[in-house]
Structure 1
Amino acid sequence: MTISPLIISVLLCIFYGCLSIIITCGNILVIMSIIYFKQLHTPTNYLILSLSVADLFVGVLVCPFSMALTESSCWYYESLLCKIRGSFDIALSNSSILHLCCISVDRYYAVCQPLRYATKINDRVAAIMILVSWSVSVVLGIAVMIAGYHTEKCEDSCSFDIQIAPTLGCILSFYLPASVMLCIYLKIFQVAQKQARSIQNTTCQTTKSGAAVSKMERKATTTLAIVMGIFLICWTPFFLCVTFQPVSNYAIPVPVIELFSWLGRSNSMLNPFVYAWFYSWFRAAFRMIISGKIYQGDFGNSKLL
């Protein structure tokens, strides 16, 4: 039984539409929670806020563009939608991984050098990290739009041919930052294990108070490491395909690469669920927003568990 192209197009549009709605709603909850509740006004959460903005753009920009492109059977090098989608894809994926790099540095100081954390990581430093992450990502996205899409014939997919070594691009934008993050989190977990053993051997009350703070920091670090792990699981297949595509003489089918690219985009809808699952204060904030309680009074200073 052969499925007609129209049915495939409709199913893809439904999929893109549902994914776009879930990504948008989930990340709006995270953004509203951090902006509204003063308890969540911390450098770490500001980085999470900016990461959620990047994920939100995937839902409101990339998914709709992809949905529009399914209606066309032929893309030309002058296709503005095709160029814009590729540019946003590169910019937002790089923005996500740069934000995750910044978050790993934040967690390093919080766990490994807690006495220096307040001086090393503050609101100004977080703002600089966010500005650098977005600036580099936007420049890369614009460069992709300028350098790509050189084909002048009708193509059966919205793909691009950037005139630089794709392996070098993947190393700089994915493999190198991912390796740095993995090394940082490995160091963090080593220090956290030593702290846990030290806590078990202490009994004084003041140490218990410090132990509670240390435990909270380690839980936050574990949660953000899971966020990074999910990001790597979602995006690694796509970057591997892009890396080995020239080596394999372009033997990897375009639909496979497109499938892995959508696996990567699905990462944008997973992070809010991770926050809600692991963070009790995010769950409390989500409940207050969804129930409409925040519109019944000023709860910005309320304690979130």
Structure 2
Amino acid sequence: MSTDEAVHLCYENLNGSCVKTSYSSLPRVILYMVFGSGTVLTVFGNLLVMISILHFKQLHSPANFLIASLACADFLVGVTVMPVSTVRSVESCWYFGESYCKFHSSFEGSFCYASIYHLCFISVDRYIAVTDPLIYPTRFTTSVWGSCIVFSRLFSVTFSFPLLYSGANEAGLEDLVSALSCVGGCQVAVNSKWVFVSFAPFFIPTLVMIVVYSKIFLTAKQQSRKIESLGNKAEKSSDSYKDRVAKRERKAARTLGIAVVAFLISWLPYFIDSIIDAFVGFITPTYIYEILVWFAYYNSAMNPLIYAFFYPWFRKTIKLIITGKVMRENSSAIRLFSD
């Protein structure tokens, strides 16, 4: 083996090593900065969301607890998945062992499913809040949103981990897996049967969210027209509290609808490519796969930015946290918005 060949291998002087794609210094630095900044934004952005909702009592609501749980899933993506993927993407080699390869891939799948089911339950929560805001607190109780969180987490883990660790995803692809296997690689092949099975838990809640949000925005439009058509000031005054609550719930639904659209835009290309790839012999170039997977990863960093842009209370809590005012006595009772 020549020196020239050795520098292009993941493990020098080791038989069966994967071929390494070498980058010059500047592209390597740029890639590490891009992926590293996304990781930092994901970790600290979602940490701010969790601290805000859990610390300030005025934010203690079913929808916000679901948002905090969603932020927790995104936070774990930033802590457990993105740092390792940064090294894999830049170095084009897997240096973390074969066992952690499956663990890492299982994490990717479980966090994706956890996010989609959190967003689905949030959409149902918003539908009830918009259609009947005054009755809503009696319908979406602590036990209900607690069950939603438990289901989202348990289902995502029990579906993703057994699939990869049982090897069911590779059934019928043994020759291909053997041909692609090399030291320093981490490629997970999913056969055509299981790629559809894996897509179903993504597609079903997506369909539910599209239907629910369509009804939400239709209802919101009808409510807005009704409020505008009220000509009697006394009637307006008597319904002012209900109107304010309905307006706040519609705004929250709109913001979370944007988060849903961002999630679908981020993850759909990855799932579509996975389905196509399973039927055409896994011919997607590595760099295309890396672009798609990082596009999906960056969704975990997007939600805190969406909240910061659309929620004044989140901007206020960020300032309180950064300045250390949350450490003061009774800071949890600070009023972040008027009822």
The verdict on a shared fold, with TM-score over 0.5 as the criterion, is: yes
Unaligned runs of at least 5 residues, structure 1: none
User: Which among 188, 202, 222 is matched to residue 160 of structure 1?
Assistant: 188
Q: Deviations over 1:233-252 (max 9, x none)?
A: 11111111011113334333
Instruction: Confirm or deny that 1:234 pairs with 2:269.
Output: no
2:106–2:161 Cα contact (<8 Å) kept = yes
Unaligned runs of at least 5 residues, structure 2: 1-20
User: Which among 206, 228, 251 is matched to residue 178 of structure 1?
Assistant: 206
Radius of gyration: which is bigger? 2
Structure 2 counterpart SS, 1:246: helix
Structure 2 counterpart SS, 1:25: helix
Q: State the TM-score, normalizing by the size of structure 1.
A: 0.91
Instruction: Confirm or deny that 1:98 pairs with 2:129.
Output: no
Question: For the residues of structure 2 that align with 1:93 and 1:75, how far apart are their CA atoms?
Answer: 22
User: Which among 126, 144, 147 is matched to residue 128 of structure 1?
Assistant: 147
Instruction: Confirm or deny that 1:5 pairs with 2:23.
Output: yes
Q: Aligned-pair RMSD on alpha carbons?
A: 2.3
The AA in structure 2 aligned to 1:285 is T
How many equivalent pairs are there? 303
Q: State the TM-score, normalizing by the size of structure 2.
A: 0.83
Structure 1's 37 and 290: CA in aligned 2 closer, same or farther, altered over 3 A?
Answer: same
Aligned to 2:321: 289
The AA in structure 2 aligned to 1:109 is I
CA drift of 1:6 comes to 5.7
Identity of aligned residues (%): 35
Aligned to 2:245: 213
The AA in structure 1 aligned to 2:249 is E
Question: For the residues of structure 2 that align with 1:73 and 1:226, how far apart are their CA atoms?
Answer: 34
Structure 2 counterpart SS, 1:297: coil
Aligned to 1:192: 220
Aligned to 2:5: none
Structure 1 counterpart SS, 2:126: helix
The AA in structure 1 aligned to 2:145 is A
CA drift of 1:12 comes to 3.5
Greater Cα shift, 217-226 or 114-123: 114-123
CA drift of 1:292 comes to 1.3
User: Which among 62, 70, 90 is matched to residue 43 of structure 1?
Assistant: 62
Question: For the residues of structure 1 that align with 2:214 and 2:183, how far apart are their CA atoms?
Answer: 44
The AA in structure 2 aligned to 1:279 is Y
Question: For the residues of structure 1 that align with 2:186 and 2:57, how far apart are their CA atoms?
Answer: 44
1:69–1:82 Cα contact (<8 Å) kept = no
